Amino acid sequence: MPIDAKRQKVFKEAEKWSKRLVGYDLKVNNRKTVYMEMNVTGTLSLDDQLKDPKVDRFTYLGSMLQQEGGCAKEVNARIQKGWLKWRSISGVMCDKKMPIWLKSKAYISIVRSVLLYGSETWALNATEENLFQATEMRMIRWSLEYTKLDHMTNDCLRAKMGIQPMADLINENRLRWYGHILRRETNDVIENNWT
């Protein structure tokens, strides 16, 4: 398909989307709007004001979306943000005088919520699941003052903290989100391609 035909098609889709959003009191700002094509090469220019609004990745509501699909960059970004939160509350998490139940509450409500933000839409592979598990176990071992030389299993440490494995929570989040998708109204803003 020639570039001009692609440009017209994208412009018409954006215009159709913009008109549909008006019914919900939403407005598209063309100066701030960028687009990303999934698994397609080439560049398009939608508007004279925007030289090249096409991007290969962008952050939307705190989640990183990328052109090639997958969620490797998002997983790495979430882990980095989780460690930032961990460091900010390390005074509580590493304090020997703090009870384990309090450390657990702080970890679940502050650190784990940052780690799992946006997990409803992730399709993790085994490597990415292992990254999350390794990160979580490092944090738990650090807060409970155990090293790998103490030969405590991950399950035993999770039981002490009273938390379930990260992979189970991600699956729960994804199923909860899928339930929301199935129950949504037929005239919703997003198109009805799921059911």
Q: Write the CA distances from 172 to 54, 55, 176, integer angstroms.
A: 34, 32, 6
pLDDT value, residue 190: 62
Kindly state whether residue 176 falls inside one of the protein's structural domains.
yes
Q: Which residues of 111-148 are buried (b: 16+ CB within 10 A; e: fewer)?
A: bbebbbbbbbebebeeebbebbeebbbebbbebbebee
pLDDT value, residue 89: 93
pLDDT value, residue 46: 45
Kindly state whether residue 195 falls inside one of the protein's structural domains.
no
Kindly state whether residue 61 falls inside one of the protein's structural domains.
no
Tally of structural domains, the chain: 2
Residues 39 and 79 in one domain: no
Domain that holds residue 37: 3-55
Kindly state whether residue 189 falls inside one of the protein's structural domains.
no
Residues 81 and 167 in one domain: yes
pLDDT value, residue 27: 80
Residue pLDDT tens, the chain, 195 long: 555 676 677 777 777 877 888 888 888 776 777 766 665 455 444 444 444 567 666 666 666 666 666 678 888 889 999 999 999 999 999 999 999 999 999 999 999 999 998 888 788 889 989 999 999 999 999 999 998 889 899 999 999 999 999 889 988 988 988 888 888 877 766 654 544
Whole-model pTM: value is 0.67
3-class secondary-structure state, position 51: coil
Residues 26 and 122 in one domain: no
Written as one letter, the residue type at 177 is: W
Residues 16 and 105 in one domain: no
pLDDT value, residue 86: 94
